[in-house]
Amino acid sequence: MTKESRRVLVTGATRGMGLEIARAFARAGERVVLNGREEATLEAHCAALRGEGFAAEALAADLSVDPEAVALRAGESLGGLDVVVHAASLRDRRRTEELDGAAFASLLDVNLTASYRLARAALPLLQRSQAGRLVFITSIAARIARAPDPAYTASKGGLEALTRSLAVEFGADNLTVNAIAPGWFVTDPNRALSEDPQVQSFVNVRIPLKRWGRPEELAPAALFLASPSASFVNGITLTVDGGMSAQM
């Protein structure tokens, strides 16, 4: 007996952690829509997955402009949604005196408000699923801070709180809402940092595993939270940081 493929939307899937999460779901036999802003890049990723025999399609759209449309278009394309993994976000590493109110509000609008709008549009579709799963990608910055990063830290803290709120509200619908908090992962925006010897010295002290994470190491956490094995896991933030936040 073969399992029925689930319908999965992954945002922020152009590269990095979002892409690896989307690949993991596709290779697990699910039908996956990859969302991001770069259509050609998304199409290339989907073509590669289809070449491996997996089901993947691209949905090029700017999530910050119309997050509701992303959820609805993905649901229409797949005939519904069973899993949404929201990995898209922005970062603006500026000191408080350099980050005015408009810039602060703009980042919160993308990282927090757009997340809420996406969830609000997706939740009715997930409610119709037999076991809907919503997974937000937050950050260890939601709980521990490193200057200068006030807007990103605030946005991820808010997203973690939103996770708990939605988990409480929608649990009665057999729908779970959880989050994953990555630590230091090698992605395109911080690749230069990961190759800096001084930064590596910091990593050696602060991260017990003494290395950066790889994007593919985050994907199993998303697969778990979306799986039947996690049917009683609701409202939690799963930290994946090599032990960084556990160490004094």
Residue 193 pLDDT > 90, yes or no? no
Q: Which H/E stretch holds residue 225?
A: helix 219-225
Give the relative orientation of helices 39-51 and 16-27 as an angle to the nearest 10 degrees: 30
Architecture of domain 7-246: 3-Layer(aba) Sandwich (3.40)
Per-residue pLDDT tens over the stretch 34-45:
999 999 999 999
Residue 3 pLDDT > 80, yes or no? no
Q: Which H/E stretch holds residue 136?
A: strand 133-137
Per-residue pLDDT tens over the stretch 82-124:
999 999 999 898 999 999 999 999 999 999 999 999 999 999 9
* Three-state DSSP state, 232: coil
Active-site residue set: 152
> What does the alpha-carbon distance between residue 125 and residue 24 come to, in Å, rounded to a whole number?
22
Sorted by where each begins, the domain ranges of the chain are 7-246
Side chain identity, residue 140: I
210: tokens are 């003494």
